[in-house]
Each structure stands twice: as structure tokens, then as C-alpha cells.
């Protein structure tokens, strides 16, 4: 069964304390991406990765970092979190083959609260 797994599901932390949200997929796909979802703004892409060691900025990359050292994992890093990064985060990978022109399979989400 195709899975995109994120951890943690919920996190409350304080401003400035570095955190990492992990994402792994079992589909052996090259493409992975991170989104944040905010009320009234919909899903916005933070970063994406076309392959191992290849990452690119999405629409809202400020304050985030990613890494792609292996195909299955794509962690999202907040080096110095701020309250405006309080949001619901989703990791995604294509549902079928490697092509971008297909539906995305999303993880269950990570709700981050930065105090």
C-alpha cells in the first residue's frame, strides 16, 4: 500500500527552538514536496525535490530548509521557528509513477504550533 508517513503529527514548541518534521514514502518515487495549509489560503508549496540531492524552492520557502539524502526521506527543517510558521503541514509524493502529471498522495499532516 502506498504510504507517505509524517512525524510528528502534532507539535507545540517555542520560538527559536530548531525542529524537524520527517517524511518518508514507500513508493520509490523521485518527486516529493512539502506544503503548508492555512485557513483561507489553501495549500501552498514550501519546497520540492525532483530527486536525491535535488531540491528547489516552492512558493513560500522562507524560514524553511529541506534535505534529500536518500530517495525515501524528505525532512522539513525549521532552524529558528517563529509564530507565523504555526500551520498544518503536508508532505506529498505522486500517487502513481514518477511523472508530475498525476495526483499527489499526501501524508496525514503535521500540526505545528509555535508559541
Partner 1 sequence: GESVGLHLPTLSVQEGDNSIINCAYSNSASDYFIWYKQESGKGPQFIIDIRSNMDKRQGQRVTVLLNKTVKHLSLQIAATQPGDSAVYFCAEGNRLAFGKGNQVVVIP
By the rule CB under 8 A, 41 interacts with partner 1? yes
Residue 107: name the closest of 28, 13, 25 by CA: 25
Binder among 11, 43, 50, 52 for partner 1 (CB under 8 A)? 43
> What residues have CB less than 8 Å from 6, skipping those under 6 apart?
21, 22, 23, 89, 90, 91, 107, 108, 109, 110
By the rule CB under 8 A, 50 interacts with partner 1? no
Q: Which is nearer to partner 1, 79 or 98 (CB)?
A: 98
Q: Which is nearer to partner 1, 67 or 113 (CB)?
A: 113
How many whole angstroms separate alpha carbon 25 and alpha carbon 91?
9
Residues 32/48, Cβ–Cβ less than 8 Å? yes
How many whole angstroms separate alpha carbon 1 and alpha carbon 94?
13
Q: Which is nearer to partner 1, 33 or 85 (CB)?
A: 33
Per-residue contact flags (x/-) with partner 1 for residues 62 to 101, judged by CB under 8 A: --------------------------x-x-x--x----xx
Q: Which is nearer to partner 1, 68 or 89 (CB)?
A: 89
Amino acid at each position: 500500500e502506498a504510504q507517505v508517513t509524517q512525524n510528528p503529527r502534532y507539535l507545540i514548541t517555542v520560538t527559536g527552538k530548531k525542529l524537524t518534521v520527517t517524511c518518508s514514502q514507500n513508493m520509490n518515487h523521485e518527486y516529493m514536496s512539502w506544503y503548508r495549509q492555512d485557513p483561507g489560503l489553501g495549500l501552498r508549496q514550501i519546497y520540492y525535490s525532483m530527486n536525491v540531492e535535488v531540491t528547489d524552492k516552492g512558493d513560500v520557502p522562507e524560514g524553511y530548509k529541506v534535505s534529500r539524502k536518500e530517495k525515501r526521506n524528505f525532512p522539513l527543517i525549521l532552524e529558528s521557528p517563529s509564530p507565523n510558521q504555526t500551520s498544518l503541514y503536508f508532505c506529498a509524493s505522486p500517487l502513481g509513477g514518477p511523472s508530475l502529471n498525476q495526483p499527489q498522495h499526501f501524508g496525514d499532516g503535521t500540526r505545528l504550533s509555535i508559541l
